[in-house]
Structure 1
Amino acid sequence: MRFAYRRCALVVALSTTALVGLAAPAFAEGVAEEQASDATVDPNEIIVSARRRDETLQDTPIAITAVNAAMIENKAAINLGDLMGAAPNLIITNQNSGAAAANLSIRGLTYADIEKSQEPTVGVVVDGIFIGTSTGQYFDFFDIEQIEVLRGPQGTLFGRNTIGGVINIRRSRPTGEFGAKIEASYGRFNTLATRAVINVPLAGETLAAKVFYFHNEADGWYKQAQTGKPRGFSNNENYGGSLQFKAPGGNFDALITVEQQEQKMDPVVAEITKTGELFCTFIPANECNRNQTTDIYTVFGLPNVSLYKAPSVTGEMNLDLGGVKLTSVTGWRKMTETQTQDFDGSTADLYYVLRQQTYDQFSQELRAAGKIGDSFDYVVGGYYFRSKYQLQQWTRLFAFNPAIAPEVFDTNPQQVNGKTTSYAFFGDFNWQFADQWRLSFGGRFTRDRKSLRNAFGGVQIGQGSDTFKKFTPKVGVDFRPNDDMMVYASWSRGFRSGGFSPRAGSPASASRSYQPETVDSYEVGAKFELFDRKLQFNVAAFYSKYKDLQQNTTLFCAVCATQNETVTSNVGSATIKGLELDFTARPAEGLRITGSLGLLDSKFKGFVVGGISPVTGLVIPFDFSNNDLIYNPDVTASIAADYEVPTSFGKVVANIGYRYIGRYDQQISTNTLTGNLTTGPVVVTGNDPRVRTDPQGLLDASLSARFTIGDDTEAYLTVFGRNLANDRGMTHGFTVGGLWSFATAREPRTYGVTLGVKM
């Protein structure tokens, strides 16, 4: 029945897309910033900064989806995960092995890991600052001006480690006027959220301030099998303030934001160990061989707690010299984490860890933007990034006694110290070389220096340092036959820097660096506006060649203190082909319909890495070329509608949306083995089916009554529901070298009510 429901909804979504025809763009609506004084401002036009310039969405020759504050409010979105499926070929899941950590995939490119020494393949940029680790990326959506999802490599302007794309988040600035936005919501699983943003003028139009406070807590949607009590609680705090200075005359402005993010949570995991894995011989029979859908909401493991604190400072300065605009963006962030986690997830005390880690990053970007004549514009600049990382992990392995603290049981804790220093210089240029034709080109040179030291109990296992350099160019051309159509073609290269394996446990693995991976992406696309801009449509087709893939392999390791190690290595290549469609239609007053469709086809080539022979126990070649790439669903699709009705008290806004995400694997692992099992090569026939999600059909809805109170105040009451079809299953599944396996579950049906006021 559930499958029939999903399939029917997907057919409706795709049929709607087909009916709209080849005609419209990204899924957003907003008010353009003030244009030239003699220009007419289209209220449906969106201004984006995807290329470090302010330009309209339809004039930007890249695949991009923009979501503004009004859309976020209408659908009652609360965090980054609510974007999943709304943009083509975008996957976002929460990784609970790290605080506020996200697994991100755009166009099939991802790297699902929370270690601070290994950077993500999708960049999350907040107010111009790149977050250098997946921890802290799972962002709150309350104080957001606009979100831009840039698909494909963005190495020229946003740097290394953006080979999949970028999620560019812009928060609101101080308004310079007294005002506030305050709301509280309550929902299922005892979820309580209180949020406030207050704007205060300090010195006319010259100096303004903004303060904010967000709080979100919930009991969690897991149930402890032994007691029936809820598990998976979370308590999140984010607070701070911004100060903005605007010089008289308007040629200089500066903004500084100081904030702190805090989280306390229970990083619970569900047991999916099966017969044949070592741990299944030690845990009760009813805790083995469980399914990956409904069973994973019942857990058996010991209590955990994660404590996270992340202060940060962001500064931006702009100086307009007339012909050129100079911009400086400075960012500092520090993260401190202490986390216990029962990774085996069973009533037996088999694998329990205590992790303490710190991470800090500093970045500085300087850039200049301007025009030369009427046909040439540019953005050039330099970038510096530095990060440091320290980890200490105590492991309680086969203790069978939860009363012993991990730091007492483990007298040889794992210690990892890492450092990254990066420099880059970049340029991006547009040249209108003929009427209706424009050439876009640019490049970035990056130099990274990385070092990592692995030790156990203070005794060094391995240490290494290496330098990685790369030039990442791009070139594109676009053609505008009229004001309502643009076609474009581009080639771009992205690269993800090399490094060292933070979970290596043997001297050879710990001191050996892996090399950068690169992506060459070829893209053609078109953007249309039809019927007096009531219908917009974007289409893009791409082909990506993925070389020197960095992949984790977890192996049994007799000489390692934990009896296993996870090693990162370069393992061949992959090709990814895809098609993306998105549209916005406004067929009637107050009605907006949006939709998207993403198709992916991917394949490994030459993916050969060392594995353990099931016959001899020695390391021999394993060929994973037949496995699926992770976080690569064949289909993602969405359809949504907003309907706004004026009333005597204000207006009523209804929103309903459906997102479909096809099945995808979450880990490179082993299923059936063929070939030469003694000396290799062993041929792996696919990933373990336990790390594969089922297809997801997520139905969301909200209904808001907005009350106008005076000229400048609006109160609103919103009733919302997420995953109303109660589609249950995994967000993350992981197998550990034949020892055991665990999973985390996605949010089941939830609902609630929000009361707020804006003034």
Structure 2
Amino acid sequence: MSPALVLTGLPVQAAEQLEEILVTATRRAETDVQTTPVAVTPVTEREIARVIPRDLGDILIYAPNVINGKQPGFNAANFAIRGVGQNGIILYFENQVGVTVDDFVIPHIQTANIEMLDIQSVEILRGPQGTLFGKNTTGGVINVKTNRPELEENTLSLQGQIAEYDTYEVKGVGNFALGDSVALRIAAMYRESEGFYENGAEYGPVADFGVGYPLVGATGRGDGDNVGGDDLFSGRFKLRWQPTDDLDINLAYEMVRDEGDAPPSVNGTPRTNDYVFNALGFTRDNGDQLKVAASTQRDDVLLGMGKRGHEIDVDGYYLNVDWTLSDNYTLTAFGGYRETDSWLPSTYTGEVGPVSLFDANRQDERETTQFEARIASNYDGGFNWVGGAFYQKDETVFTVAQVLGFVDMTLDSLATFGDPLFFNNNPQVLSNAQDAESWAVYLDGSLDITDRWSIGAGIRYTNEEKDWTGRNQVFVQALTGGFDPNFTWRELGEPLAAANFSKYPTGVVRDSEDWSEPTWRLTTSYDFSDDLYSYFTYSRGFKSGGYNDQTGTGGNPIEPIQARPVDPETADSFELGMRSEWLDNSLRVNLTGFYVTYDDSQQQLLAEIEADRDGDGVNESVFQETRFFNAAEINVYGLEFESTWLATDNFTIQGSVGWLEAEFDEFQADTNFDGTIDTDLSNNDVARAPEWTWNVDFLYDHDAMGGVMNWALNVNYVDEAVYAYTSVPSTPDGTTDDRTLVNGSVTFRPGSGNWWVRAFGKNLTDEEYRVGELPVANLWVMSFYGEPRVFGVEAGMDLDW
């Protein structure tokens, strides 16, 4: 990929050859991507700027067989690589696609979709990374590096953006020299927008089920306001000290204050009699799906949706040390602590309704501590290695408060509870907590057999231990044992108060488990010429077992078998790659073929359960619980093509194509734990695994008005795919749409000026497409859509002194 012709606010120069790109995929010295035996797509700082990204997920278009999605109801990372990736918000389930930022492994998808603030590079590593990035990465790793302070430099970069939907964004990066060996770098951004959804869902007339529901016949619609908007501040503050040429110490503080709107959902329920919401009168055909989203904006101490929206606070403290011990050895050490507080209310139904049909608020607090140290060799000979140790501890406390107002419509709540709107007025809470520890040791090396032939091997031993505590979903009044009508959500306070298990011990269960597993890598590579490199790699990946934060959703006491975690998942990957350069280094062509088998694959299934909603001891209603099973053996194979062509000194074409075949060789599940297989998805396509993905950029620059004009056109495609499977009979699975998105921009920078200006457009054809969808039992389907057509302008200024 040629940074010389990328359309950004950064300086651009003409080039006759493609530039060398260095990557850190081997975690030793930087290596040329063209001679690195890993399927890695490097994304440079210039390419990041050209995408005009909102977050890390927007960068993924560059890599084949890598997709971004959206978890309905949440602003969370939703990444999948080569057919594996998380499709739920489950708190304790680390994604098969790891995200690391400056060596810190982010263990939860809610805060892994980081802002693209002062990023040096992103490396998208595809396939199991079981040796060097080994924590739960059976699918791949997105390795992010931020810019460090520059010694003896004083610079200031300012940037602003205005776009549709009242979007405003400002960024500033300052680098300040504090003497010859110390530098400070401050990067900050703020974004505000109204959101591209409209709160316009219509409902009614509410059906009469003969239970004395007081709002029978009601009709209405949302207020029509824009919802899903941003209110985000993010900052990084870094101090660098280089007392000698051999020692580099970097201390960083990260903060995020996200107070955006609660993301709305769209009611995507098919109009069939198999869904309860159709019978209740809550599914309407309304054309433009972005205009019929819904958020009830309910305000109370448990939900706080209208006033608080989604709130995420992150405070992180990180220390990176690079120490050249001698000409032959370098020590790299890392220590980090990250505290995250989340308050995540959502209207899951995509309906405003006369009441809260199903509003919920997920609140959690988590503390993550990590240490890692590794030594890399730098011998003059053909043998080099890297070895290290890794430790991470993650402590989480979690509660979800749910208001299930739709139950009042089918149950005589007046006769049972003395209040016809009892379920709407009385939230239920589900609480659990987990302490997780992971440690590993690893060693990886390579040996040059001849000038052209090399072999490599690596091994990692991982141990993970998890302790889980939880209580089934109950009304707040039942937390103290029995049913105390005087103890309501008003007396409880915020949802997390229900996670005080010593104060409220009724129904609390505990479980713990630990797992140990070796993983490894074997590789051989051969240079056919200076411009043609090939490799073959066999690697094994490991994802530890895990617990489920939704255990007990049905309201029944948690049985011991329900509290048990799923077993670990392993992946065996075979990969053949070719890297080549042609036409005097003006054309780069890279091909990768792979075959992966997953054993005991951890799969999410939306399972049907029966629940005792009125407390009479009879399970009278069908409900849903998100459950995980070791029910699948998966075979995945495919091809990946990446190319860059410097057609002329000022015209570049670059792109990628991914083809993927992924299906369940076996997927049988006992969803209700009665000892009988009730769901069989064998031979079905794997969720989050589109068959085709491709991306192409056309980049052109020329002199104009005494400066340089840069033009960029991007076209990217993602095939349709299953998003989530459901075991509920007569209800379709959640799916995502195929889409071809066209984006463009033009940037001008004067020849002698220190400023630049850009106009851009995204989704120029205004395509409407689903990027996430979850069926909820036989009740309704919640859908999430991608961004519509957006136009905007941005400008920046770079100063130095």
* TM-score bin, normalised by smaller chain: 0.7 to 0.9
Contact 1:273 1:279 in 2 (8 A): no
Q: Choose which of 448, 457, 464 in structure 2 pairs with 1:441.
A: 457
Change (3 A) 1:276 1:359: farther
Tell me what 2:19 maps to. 44
Tell me what 2:592 maps to. 540
Q: Structure 1 residue 582 and structure 2 residue 589: aligned?
A: no
Tell me what 1:565 maps to. 625
Query: What SS class does the counterpart of residue 548 from structure 1 fall into?
Result: strand
1:210-609 alignment runs, 5 A limit? 210-225=185-200, 226-248=222-244, 250-264=245-259, 265-274=261-270, 275-281=272-278, 283-284=280-281, 287-288=283-284, 294-303=288-297, 304=305, 305-322=309-326, 323-348=328-353, 349-398=356-405, 409-410=426-427, 413-456=429-472, 457=479, 458=504, 459-505=506-552, 506-559=558-611, 563-609=623-669
Contact 1:152 1:165 in 2 (8 A): yes
Q: Structure 1 residue 89 and structure 2 residue 65: aligned?
A: yes
Indicate the percent of aligned positions where both proteins have the same amino acid. Answer: 25
Contact 2:592 2:640 in 1 (8 A): yes
Query: Which of the pair is proportionally richer in strand?
Result: 1
CA-CA distance at 1:603 after TM superposition: 1.4
Q: Give TM-score, length-normalised by structure 1.
A: 0.88
Partner Cα separation in structure 1 for residue 125 and residue 672 of structure 2: 40
Per-residue CA deviation, residues 695-742 of structure 1 (Å, 9 max, x unaligned), is: 1101010100012446xxx20100001111111111110012222210
Contact 1:297 1:745 in 2 (8 A): no
Cα RMSD, aligned residues only? 2.6
CA-CA distance at 1:565 after TM superposition: 2.5
Q: Choose which of 660, 684, 687 in structure 1 pairs with 2:717.
A: 660
Partner Cα separation in structure 2 for residue 227 and residue 403 of structure 1: 26
CA-CA distance at 1:611 after TM superposition: 4.4
Tell me what 1:127 maps to. 102
CA-CA distance at 1:744 after TM superposition: 0.9
Query: What SS class does the counterpart of residue 71 from structure 1 fall into?
Result: helix
Tell me what 2:763 maps to. 723
Partner Cα separation in structure 2 for residue 223 and residue 207 of structure 1: 50
In the alignment, structure 2 segments of 5+ residues that lack a partner are 7-15, 201-221, 298-304, 410-418, 473-478, 480-503, 553-557, 614-620
Partner Cα separation in structure 2 for residue 504 and residue 556 of structure 1: 13
1:676-691 alignment runs, 5 A limit? 688=732, 691=734
Which AA in structure 1 matches 2:649?
A: E
Contact 1:632 1:664 in 2 (8 A): yes
Which AA in structure 1 matches 2:597?
A: K
Partner Cα separation in structure 1 for residue 350 and residue 434 of structure 2: 30
Partner Cα separation in structure 1 for residue 344 and residue 778 of structure 2: 25
Query: What SS class does the counterpart of residue 607 from structure 1 fall into?
Result: strand
Contact 1:571 1:608 in 2 (8 A): yes
Query: What SS class does the counterpart of residue 58 from structure 1 fall into?
Result: helix
Tell me what 1:707 maps to. 750
Tell me what 1:34 maps to. none
Tell me what 2:133 maps to. 158
Partner Cα separation in structure 1 for residue 351 and residue 424 of structure 2: 20
Query: What SS class does the counterpart of residue 512 from structure 2 fall into?
Result: strand
Contact 1:627 1:668 in 2 (8 A): no
Tell me what 1:73 maps to. 49
Which AA in structure 1 matches 2:709?
A: V
Contact 1:113 1:134 in 2 (8 A): no
Tell me what 1:746 maps to. 786
Partner Cα separation in structure 1 for residue 104 and residue 543 of structure 2: 18
CA-CA distance at 1:97 after TM superposition: 3.9
Partner Cα separation in structure 2 for residue 370 and residue 42 of structure 1: 32
Partner Cα separation in structure 2 for residue 353 and residue 77 of structure 1: 29
Partner Cα separation in structure 2 for residue 71 and residue 555 of structure 1: 42
Partner Cα separation in structure 2 for residue 639 and residue 441 of structure 1: 35
Contact 2:405 2:421 in 1 (8 A): no
Which AA in structure 1 matches 2:45?
A: A
CA-CA distance at 1:564 after TM superposition: 3.7
CA-CA distance at 1:47 after TM superposition: 1.1
Contact 1:472 1:495 in 2 (8 A): yes
Partner Cα separation in structure 1 for residue 602 and residue 170 of structure 2: 41
Partner Cα separation in structure 2 for residue 629 and residue 212 of structure 1: 40
Per-residue CA deviation, residues 155-183 of structure 1 (Å, 9 max, x unaligned), is: 10011211111111111111121101111
Which AA in structure 1 matches 2:426?
A: F
CA-CA distance at 1:92 after TM superposition: 1.0
Which AA in structure 2 matches 1:579?
A: L
Per-residue CA deviation, residues 673-710 of structure 1 (Å, 9 max, x unaligned), is: 7xxxxxxxxxxxxx925x22221101010100012446
Query: What SS class does the counterpart of residue 69 from structure 2 fall into?
Result: strand
Q: Structure 1 residue 187 and structure 2 residue 163: aligned?
A: yes
Contact 1:80 1:92 in 2 (8 A): no
CA-CA distance at 1:262 after TM superposition: 1.5
Query: What SS class does the counterpart of residue 402 from structure 2 fall into?
Result: strand
Per-residue CA deviation, residues 315-357 of structure 1 (Å, 9 max, x unaligned), is: 1001101210001011211110112211122233321112211
Q: Choose which of 185, 203, 212 in structure 1 pairs with 2:179.
A: 203
Q: Structure 1 residue 610 and structure 2 residue 670: aligned?
A: yes
Q: Give TM-score, length-normalised by structure 2.
A: 0.83
Partner Cα separation in structure 1 for residue 575 and residue 17 of structure 2: 29
Tell me what 1:8 maps to. none
Change (3 A) 1:342 1:321: same
Partner Cα separation in structure 1 for residue 607 and residue 735 of structure 2: 20
CA-CA distance at 1:86 after TM superposition: 2.1
Query: What SS class does the counterpart of residue 722 from structure 2 fall into?
Result: coil
Contact 2:405 2:424 in 1 (8 A): no
> 4+ runs of 1 displaced by more than 4 Å?
26-31, 288-291, 399-408, 559-563, 617-620, 670-673
Partner Cα separation in structure 2 for residue 59 and residue 630 of structure 1: 33
Structure exhibiting the larger radius of gyration computed from Cα positions: 2
Which AA in structure 2 matches 1:314?
A: Y
Tell me what 1:35 maps to. none
Q: Structure 1 residue 168 and structure 2 residue 143: aligned?
A: yes
CA-CA distance at 1:407 after TM superposition: 11
Q: Higher mean Cα deviation, 370-379 or 56-65?
A: 370-379
Contact 1:440 1:477 in 2 (8 A): yes
Change (3 A) 1:222 1:662: same
Partner Cα separation in structure 2 for residue 196 and residue 641 of structure 1: 29
CA-CA distance at 1:362 after TM superposition: 0.9
Contact 1:186 1:752 in 2 (8 A): yes
CA-CA distance at 1:290 after TM superposition: 6.7
Change (3 A) 1:446 1:30: farther
Q: Number of paired residues?
A: 698
Q: Structure 1 residue 755 and structure 2 residue 762: aligned?
A: no
Change (3 A) 1:618 1:123: closer
Per-residue CA deviation, residues 381-421 of structure 1 (Å, 9 max, x unaligned), is: 000010011111221112669999999713x5211101110
Query: What SS class does the counterpart of residue 72 from structure 1 fall into?
Result: helix
Q: Structure 1 residue 646 and structure 2 residue 703: aligned?
A: yes
Per-residue CA deviation, residues 587-636 of structure 1 (Å, 9 max, x unaligned), is: 111222101000001111221112479xxx99752111143211111100
Q: Higher mean Cα deviation, 572-581 or 66-75?
A: 66-75
Contact 2:122 2:145 in 1 (8 A): yes
Change (3 A) 1:425 1:145: same
Query: What SS class does the counterpart of residue 203 from structure 1 fall into?
Result: coil
Change (3 A) 1:500 1:618: closer
